[in-house]
Amino acid sequence: MTARDDLRETGAAVRRQLGLADWSGPELAPGFSRLGDEVMFGKLWARPGLSLEERMLATLSALTSQQRLPQLATYVGAALHIGMTPRMIQEVMIHCGMYSGFSTMENSLVVVADVLTRNGIPIPDVTLSEADLDELDTMGQDTMRDLHAERAEGGYAAPGPQSAAKLYGTAIQYLYGEVWNRPDISRRQRMVCSVAAFTAIDAEKQSRKFFRSALNVGLTKDEIVEIIMQTGPYSGFPRALNALVITDDVMD
């Protein structure tokens, strides 16, 4: 066997572990399924450094941020297969939707609901506690400081008369105050989603801020690198490579 044969077998084994079946029927193009097993699963999913669940969080984040909806449906099924809860999966879509837009959030939640229904799994129906706007502001400020420490009010988050402040107050209340404090997904898991989403949408300024802040929730630089690499096959290698350069810039 060649090294590529070994890589292909390793990738196929990981793919099956995710509950993703072998390709059936005629290939979309010669060698397409082989490329998938080698690049996505053999080269990336099989790497050490992150748990299978964390790699799935990064993958779902990249797919929802880029609105790759057919592939998102496939991987939502895979996420269920490896034991992720419906609520956690929903929260990935909500979290990333705050970065790439409410329309992406809605589209992706529809995909999640469809996959749950096809699998005979009830769509979660829970009541969440609701804070008033003043409480959201306080929660948001506290969360910003927890995540970003002394850099919480830097750049576009700086208080004052600049134009960004007109929108950033809403971000403090609803992104930091509401979304980052929603249940059923941990702060570390949310940061995995943020790192992957900012990579997928090529958000350089946010990447520079959050990649360093990921250290504050317990992620290591090596883990941040793995999260970024995981997005490569799903939102593009150029975006992942750009983000890896940023990682070195802000941490070295």
Q: Helix crossing, 187-200 with 204-213: angle to 10°? A: 150
Nearest to 20, CA basis, from 112, 82, 88 = 82
Nearest to 84, CA basis, from 210, 192, 224 = 192
- Secondary structure tally for the chain: helices H, strands E: 12, 0
pLDDT of residue 96: 99
Rg over alpha carbons for the chain, rounded to the nearest Å, is 19
Residue ranges of alpha helices (H) inside the chain are 3-17, 32-35, 52-66, 69-81, 86-100, 102-118, 133-148, 165-170, 187-200, 204-213, 221-235, 237-251
How many of the other CB atoms lie within 10 Å of CB of 118? 10
Q: Helix crossing, 187-200 with 52-66: angle to 10°? A: 40
How many of the other CB atoms lie within 10 Å of CB of 161? 6
Nearest to 212, CA basis, from 246, 165, 173 = 246
Q: Name the DSSP class of 46.
A: T
Are 117 and 211 spatial neighbours (Cβ–Cβ below 8 Å)? no
pLDDT of residue 145: 96
pLDDT of residue 27: 87
203 sits in the region (left: phi over 0; alpha: psi -120 to 50; else beta) called: beta
Across the chain, which has 252 residues, the per-10-residue mean pLDDT values are 95 98 86 95 98 99 99 99 99 99 99 99 95 97 95 73 86 98 98 99 97 98 99 99 98 85
pLDDT of residue 251: 92
Six token digits for residue 68: 């790759």
Are 115 and 80 spatial neighbours (Cβ–Cβ below 8 Å)? yes
Residue ranges of alpha helices (H) inside 31-132 are 32-35, 52-66, 69-81, 86-100, 102-118
pLDDT of residue 154: 73
